Amino acid sequence: MTKNFILGAFIGLTLVSFAQKGEAEGPENLNWYLKDPKANGVYGTGATKAYEMLTAAGKKSTTVIVAVIDSGVETDHPDLKDVIWINEDEIPNNGIDDDNNGYIDDVNGWSFLGGPTEDINQEALELARMYRTESAYFKGKKVEDIPSAELARYATYEKIKIAFEKEMAEKESSVLNIRMLSDYMQRVEKQAGIAFSKETNEAFTPETEIDKRIQNRMKSILEMSPAAQLTTESEGALKSIQGAIDASKLDADSIRKSIVGDDPTDLSNKIYGCNRYEGPDAFHGTHVAGIIAASRNNGLGIDGVADDVRIMVLRAVPDGDERDKDVANAIIYAVDNGAKVINMSFGKYWTPNKDYVDAAIEYARSKDVLLVHAAGNDAKNKDVEDSYPTRKLNNKTVAPNWIEVGASSSSKSGKSIIAEFSNFGSTTVDFFAPGVDIYSTIPDYNYGNASGTSMACPATVGVAALIRSYFPELSAPEVREVLMATTANYKKTVIAPNGQKVKMKDICITGGFVNAANAVAYLLDQK
């Protein structure tokens, strides 16, 4: 769950489900998320320093399985192929469920978004799905026609209707703003006779008040990001937002049935999907997997945070909102097949089947599995507005095996060290982790930048997997407690995503940033 925040600063984007792609800033910054604030002056994960201490102490690792619930992963990427989980009890491509777990040929994981021949890519927002269902149910009914037993449901429908209409209006407005932005850039290029840039923007002679405002806003945006990145963002944003608008008009349940073959409303059916792990667009999942576990010290591209893990690929996140059914079943699959840490770089603000997901979270807790979740990218205070899935369960308990992560940058300044897009919360977000300009693996055997809490989440997962690998005696709640107790604290004030100058304790529980070096030092000292 990421947002292209540079463009968002201009058009006021709400939740967008793709990662911001950009150019690397230079070799010295490619692996900034592995660095340490004490050793390097940047609030990375401290992974490099942690490994130095582990080597000096003679600590040995045990392999940890990490499940990545995402859009899909390019499993044969040169920097990932050696760290992909293999189900040793399954014979590849023989069309037989050799291990009798219900999933045929699930050698590297499973996709809950595919059928015999097709895969789901674009999905509707959950709000759109709920609106369609409830609108059909209450169609033609007046309040006075509704039985008293259904009045509560009708009241919820009214809230859904208002929220849906507002969401669609905002997205239509964003589409218009993006097109206006693109038109402006084209006119600047035409006047200059060369490609749009910081210089051509400044030299442009605006003819209207709107152009003047765009030009002035562009000046500050182009200080943060190159023009080429802005062009890429606008194209990606337009495609994503328009896709969400179009998807909201479709009968998503019927399309799901025709492609996957299951009834998406039937929560009792757990056996569906296919073994096409990559899916139609594996950018997001491949980038996430690389941050966690790209092969270290192999001379290729990047080093992942964790050095002895296997990535289990679980495809359950489309372009749009994931379904509760798929999320819950992916968690259950991960737990049943040996995962000890689960990466969840996704989320939404509406959920029709929270109890079903809650049960999966409880199941993970009972099997000592750690869940790490991205806080989201709408600059919202999660103390006020939570997203789903969440560690706050309907039975009024809080999952102790859950970590909620916000995104930070490589900046040394409190003005920009917290990502301006990141959700936050003094009682709901545990800490922050590297999530801006993260260079990692992407499809077609390549590498690229992305930003979002979707990147902060795997950075944290990598640290958690490192700890579980070298200190296997620790339970999932104990790993969380250690990471909470050993964050790298930032004593100066920071600018929160809502624009306020605050202390770190005002935007997260610990008041700090995840730090593997601190965690390892603490644990070694306990011995």
Residue 275 near residue 95, CB atoms below 8 Å: no
Q: How does 405-421 read in b/e, with b if 16+ C-beta sit within 10 Å?
A: bbbbbbeeebebbbbbb
The three state secondary structure string of 139-187 is: CCCCHHHCCHHHHHHHHHHHHHHHHHHHHHHHHHHHHHHHHHHHHHHHH
pLDDT of 2 above 80: no
| Confidence (pLDDT) at 227 | 82
Domains in the chain with CATH codes: 29-122+263-526 (3.40.50.200), 126-248 (no CATH)
In whole angstroms, what is the distance from residue 177 CA to residue 165 CA? 18
How much is the pTM? Answer: 0.91
Q: What angle do CA 235, 241, 245 make, to 5 degrees?
A: 140
pLDDT of 350 above 90: yes
Residue 143: burial class (beta carbons within 10 Å; 0-12, 13-18, 19+):
exposed
Q: Which pLDDT tens digit goes with each residue over 197-210?
A: 999 999 999 989 98
Q: Which pLDDT tens digit goes with each residue over 83-101?
A: 999 999 999 999 999 999 9
Q: Which pLDDT tens digit goes with each residue over 402-457?
A: 999 999 999 988 889 999 999 999 999 999 999 999 999 999 999 999 999 999 99
Residue 116: burial class (beta carbons within 10 Å; 0-12, 13-18, 19+):
exposed
Residue 29: which pLDDT band, with cuts at 50, 70 and 90?
A: low
